[in-house]
Amino acid sequence: MSMSENLSRNTVRRDQAAVMKVDLQCEKNNTDHHTNEITVERLIIRRGQAFSLILSAERLDQNDIQITAETGPGACEQKGTLSSCSTDPQRCSSVGKCWSVKVLSGSPSAVTLSVLCPADACIGLYSLTVKSGSYTSVSALTVLFNPWSKDDGVFLESEAERQEYVMNEQGIVYQGVDEYITTTNWDFGQFEEDILDICLKLLDVNPKCLKDAAEDYSARCNPIYVSRVVSAMINSDDDKGVLMGQWDGTYIGGVLPSNWNSSVDILRRWIKYDCYPVKFGQCWVFAAVMCTVLRCLGIPCRVVTNYQSAHDTDQNLVIDEYFSDYGVRPKPNLDSVWNYHVWVEGWMKRPDLSQDSFYDGWQVLDPTPQERSSGSYCCGPAPVKAILEGHTDVKYDIPFVYGEVNADKITWLVMANGSKKKILSDTKTVGQKISTKAVGSDSRQDITDQYKHPEGSVKERAVYDEAVKRVTGLIESQTPRPSVQMKLSLDGEPLNGADIRLKLLVKSENSKAQDLTLKMSAQVMRYTGTPAADVWSNTADLQLQPNTEQTLPFELPFTAYGPNLLDNNCIKVSVIAMNKSDPKEVYLAEKDVVPHSPTLKVTVSGTPLQDSEMNAEVVFENPLPSPLKNCSVTLTGSGLLKQTEQSSTVELGPGQRITLRVTFKPYRLGPKKLVANFDCSTFRDIKASVDVNVRPAATRLGFLSFRR
């Protein structure tokens, strides 16, 4: 049984003839503290901000009211988990994290108090004991971080940014490839009433708390500590974490990562099955769930996507990539370049690193289990400013994150005899179009310049060389520019379900003619940069004259790639050109292609008023001349739907439609979003969304109803 279940809102201990009532002013306080979106039925406050209480009894002494706040097992003043304050200053605690109370107004039978929770208080569930004479009342309240308080380590000055990074329950996750960025609308749902309790449970079952609960509760005053714990607890690799990762394409016994639309569904499933990990997640799912938890706890958070993201396991800031005449080869080590990787940033001060606030601000936190940090699968908080300046000796995990956005990529050709030839050293590809949702709109904000100086600039190379020296003590040499340049490009929009047209530009920068053999191939790729299936190959000859260029068009048939396409829809097309007269002269062109999925339509009808009936309709039509199997549609949306709605699974013939109709009543005010998902065996997880801006409903008497 939880503390909140053990504590009544105003349990009073005295003789039965006398009673003191404590009005927690939940609706007023929660509204003032920006927590009324969660509930107004219990007290939820933010630290560093006062809240009011009203005491009522037959006789109250305004100068003899004592309040004690305590959280966690073995609460004590020395650990900052217990504090006593009084309307009599002589009876207040003398140590840090001290709460305070003052009388706002009063009479012999009723007193209104203002209670201030300090800005460095531990977050979590508290018991609040109020004493006056022989009266005693015990209540429960929850304390969260406060981005509105200048004294809090998570203070964020801009109200627009607070609304986006703390209050917004919907967001966007960017996927695809850097040349074709796709968007996935996500329902964070941090204010669904049960989510706060789930987030606090997540803190309670983390290994540090299980080992020493008193120390863990004491450390919950620090957003650096809390965010690092959350980073470890979102994945389940070495604890009772929320999500189990899966990247090999087999998802038996679980949900495809691309099928998720909502953190709420995942967190509720985790708590329903007694903290057993939910199957399955990949990087964007881990990041989106972590964003929900941090926003719920009061830490400003945003989801960030890094395209062409390096996974530098040996942390030498160099990624080796291997090709043969049939395309990408499996790697002898675990280094890789992912099409994209998603993490979160949390906003907080870093007094542990410097006293001049240089490292304050956005911090990278990555819950995807990739490498251990201090023995746990977590990453960060890593100051974005440290990444920008190549300060790889700063806590936490800077070399790994720096490599994700700045590593150099070296491409090798593996010969038939197993020997390797270095054909390209690329200093620019890794770390492209680092993206997050813009404040107050659904547009994409490019934040690459916050992570790295302009590619190829003197500053960028100087920072890279300094980072390499700090990590390895070496400086990487560069490969000369090849005499033949090749580039692959699309010839028209690539559509999933149709042949894909491409063209190869071959340009000579050589004074001699060359007779080339072109070996073209296509592979279905996992988004982690590893090949899943070889789907197409072809060979052609090309006579390239000195200092000229030629364009060769070709097609990738749907019959080749369609049956093998994975949920990320990514195909790597590569061309290797070999000089027939000199096999050592080898050239490479490669391109990631993401075919566009068919359209999913979602619409709403009715007036968007709180508690007023509305209708939603989701429709998908099969565009192919062949049947689609295992077709289903889901619809979710915090503040609009209490739970995810799902259609039955059907087969769709050519031109047939699947339709999901839902009647619902919006239950929270403000901008909301319905997120729809269509899934079948051929087209995996097509997304669509529609905005619903919920307004207050007028009552019959003409007043406004603001129930939340």
Q: Is residue 432 a contact partner of residue 178, using CB atoms and an 8 Å limit?
A: yes
Q: State whether 402 and 439 are in the same domain.
A: yes
In a domain? residue 124: yes
What's the rounded Cα separation, in Å, for the pair 449 and 347?
Answer: 18
What's the rounded Cα separation, in Å, for the pair 517 and 506?
Answer: 12
Q: State whether 585 and 654 are in the same domain.
A: no
Q: Is residue 396 a contact partner of residue 379, using CB atoms and an 8 Å limit?
A: yes
567 annotated to bind ligand: no
In a domain? residue 412: yes
Q: Is residue 168 a contact partner of residue 238, using CB atoms and an 8 Å limit?
A: no
Q: What are phi and psi of 404, to 5 degrees?
A: -60, -30
pLDDT score recorded for residue 326: 60
Task: Give the domain range for residue 135.
Answer: 3-144
List % helix, strand, coil for the chain (3-state, nearest 5).
20, 40, 40
pLDDT score recorded for residue 93: 60
Query: For residue 336, what is the domain's CATH number?
Result: 3.90.260.10
SS (H, E, C) 33-66: CCCCCCCCCCEEEECCCEEEEEEECCCCCCCCEE
In a domain? residue 702: no
In a domain? residue 67: yes
460 annotated to bind ligand: yes
Query: For residue 40, what is the domain's CATH number?
Result: 2.60.40.10
206 annotated to bind ligand: no
Name the token pair of 14: 């005295």
Residue keyed to tokens 């699947």: 658
Measured between alpha carbons, how far is residue 654 from residues 564, 567, 648, 660 in Å?
20, 22, 19, 19
Beta bridge partners of 505: 487, 551
Residue keyed to tokens 């993201």: 309
What's the rounded Cα separation, in Å, for the pair 685 and 494?
Answer: 18
pLDDT score recorded for residue 477: 54
Q: State whether 207 and 118 are in the same domain.
A: no
406 annotated to bind ligand: yes
What's the rounded Cα separation, in Å, for the pair 350 and 387?
Answer: 14
Structure letter (DSSP) for residue 151? T
Name the token pair of 569: 């829809």
What's the rounded Cα separation, in Å, for the pair 241 and 234?
Answer: 5
pLDDT score recorded for residue 1: 43
Q: Tell me the Ramachandran region of residue 639: left when phi exceeds 0, alpha when psi lies from -120 to 50, beta otherwise.
A: left
Could you tell me the mean pLDDT of each successive run of 10 residues in the chain, 708 residues long? 46 54 97 97 98 93 93 94 89 73 91 97 97 91 99 98 98 94 96 97 97 98 98 92 93 94 97 97 98 99 97 80 69 78 98 96 95 83 96 93 91 77 83 98 97 85 74 57 90 93 94 91 90 93 92 96 88 92 86 93 96 97 94 96 94 97 96 95 93 82 40
pLDDT score recorded for residue 647: 95
Residues belonging to the active site = 283, 341, 366
Q: Is residue 664 a contact partner of residue 614, using CB atoms and an 8 Å limit?
A: yes
Q: Is residue 449 a contact partner of residue 385, using CB atoms and an 8 Å limit?
A: no
Q: State whether 589 and 605 are in the same domain.
A: no
Q: State whether 220 and 368 are in the same domain.
A: yes
Q: What are phi and psi of 402, to 5 degrees?
A: -60, -45
pLDDT score recorded for residue 103: 95
Name the token pair of 679: 């899934």
Q: State whether 551 and 657 are in the same domain.
A: no
**Which of 471, 494, 525 is the last residue before a domain boundary?**
471
Q: State whether 165 and 313 are in the same domain.
A: yes
Q: State whether 438 and 318 are in the same domain.
A: yes
In a domain? residue 705: no
In a domain? residue 707: no
Q: State whether 391 and 520 are in the same domain.
A: no
What's the rounded Cα separation, in Å, for the pair 375 and 396?
Answer: 13
pLDDT score recorded for residue 706: 40
Q: State whether 81 and 193 are in the same domain.
A: no
In a domain? residue 623: yes
**Which of 115, 144, 173 is the last residue before a domain boundary?**
144
**pTM score:** 0.91
Q: State whether 228 and 107 are in the same domain.
A: no
pLDDT score recorded for residue 631: 96
**Which of 144, 168, 195 is the last residue before a domain boundary?**
144
| DSSP three-state, residue 293 | helix
pLDDT score recorded for residue 237: 87
In a domain? residue 612: yes
N- to C-terminal Cα separation, the chain: 26
pLDDT score recorded for residue 377: 86
Q: State whether 235 and 363 are in the same domain.
A: yes
Q: Is residue 494 a contact partner of residue 302, using CB atoms and an 8 Å limit?
A: no
Q: Is residue 693 a contact partner of residue 608, using CB atoms and an 8 Å limit?
A: yes
Find how far residue 226's CA is from the centre of its chain: 16
- How many domains, in total, are found in the chain? 4
